[in-house]
Amino acid sequence: MEKSWLDKWNERYSKEEFAFGEEPNEYLKEQLEKLPAGKILFPAEGEGRNAVFAANLGWDSYAFDISSEGKNKALRLAEANQVKIDYQVGELQTLNYTPEQFDAIALIYAHFPADIKSSLHKMLDKLLRKGGVVIFEAFSKKHLEYVTKNEKVGGPKDIGSLFSIEEIKSDFANYDVITLEEKVIELNEGLFHNGTGSVIRFAGRKLR
């Protein structure tokens, strides 16, 4: 991962306030409350709001990010909520997760660089057991027009890092689709997700 990318996130997460707030993402909350607790992985989890929420529901909550500052904030948030999360710092291929380790994987605004995002999805798929669930929310390619008008809504400004329904269908082809939609929503998450944006929402159950 480029140093400039790492520096960006360490700087953002080093502030006292939580960049995206302390409350869980609404779509994640809605989907997770339908599932029995098990083991869940949060890639690119930042300051831990979603992993801590899952732990509060009784999940064994695992997370990773490239940002050590993100981990520091996440562990503080977990302590404040009197829960534990397993949080590693590094890129996925350097971490010690095992095939079929997880019952769910939650990709919440996990905008990886364009040249690696599909390969990372396929690596993550191997970590999910058959019958496990992926929960995904991230900005769509149409979001570019929204962030151009209002930078406060956040999100990448290069179209390659944004998502389409076709990409999600391709990356998660071996899934029974529970939800897959492109939707315009109002975001109010901390300092960096505020305003109208276009997102892809996906929930799917692994078939094989």
The pLDDT assigned to 125 comes to 98
CATH of 3-206, one of 3.40.50.300, 3.90.550.10, 3.40.50.150, 3.40.1360.10: 3.40.50.150
Amino acid at 6: L
Give per-residue pLDDT as tens, 53-62: 999 999 999 9
User: 112 vs 130, which has greater pLDDT?
Assistant: 130
Q: Where are the domains of the chain?
A: 3-206
146 CB neighbour count, 10 Å cutoff: 21
* Across 44-64, average pLDDT: 98
At residue 10 the predicted structure's pLDDT band, cuts being 50, 70 and 90, is: confident
The pLDDT assigned to 36 comes to 97
